[in-house]
């Protein structure tokens, strides 16, 4: 499912923990998309592939 900049999403980080954040940047498209997401809890930016974004918020 394609996502775009500014969307709030739930995703899994590198440690497989559920996180919530806002997409800051989208690179690529479709299943090859990579997102830069600002984590709401720790304010760090995570690079997240499409398959680890679980849902829109």
Query: Tens of pLDDT along the chain (57 residues)?
Result: 689 999 999 999 999 999 999 999 999 998 899 999 999 999 999 999 999 999 999
- 2 falls within a domain: no
Beta bridge partners of 36: 25, 47
Ordered strands of the 45-49 beta sheet: 45-49, 34-39, 18-27, 8-12, 53-56
pLDDT the model gives residue 1: 66
Phi, psi of 15 (to 5 degrees): -95, 10
- 1 falls within a domain: no
DSSP summary character for residue 30:
G
Residue 50's SS3 state is helix
DSSP summary character for residue 6:
T
Beta bridge partners of 38: 22, 45
What is the domain extent for residue 12?
Answer: 8-52
pLDDT the model gives residue 2: 82
pLDDT the model gives residue 47: 97
- 57 falls within a domain: no
Q: How many domains does the chain have?
A: 1
């Amino acid at each position: 499912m394609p996502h775009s900049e500014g969307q709030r999403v739930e995703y899994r980080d590198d440690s497989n923990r559920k996180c919530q954040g806002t997409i800051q940047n989208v690179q690529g498209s479709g299943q090859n998309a990579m997102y830069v997401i600002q984590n709401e809890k720790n304010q760090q930016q995570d690079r997240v592939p499409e398959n680890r974004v679980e849902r829109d918020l």
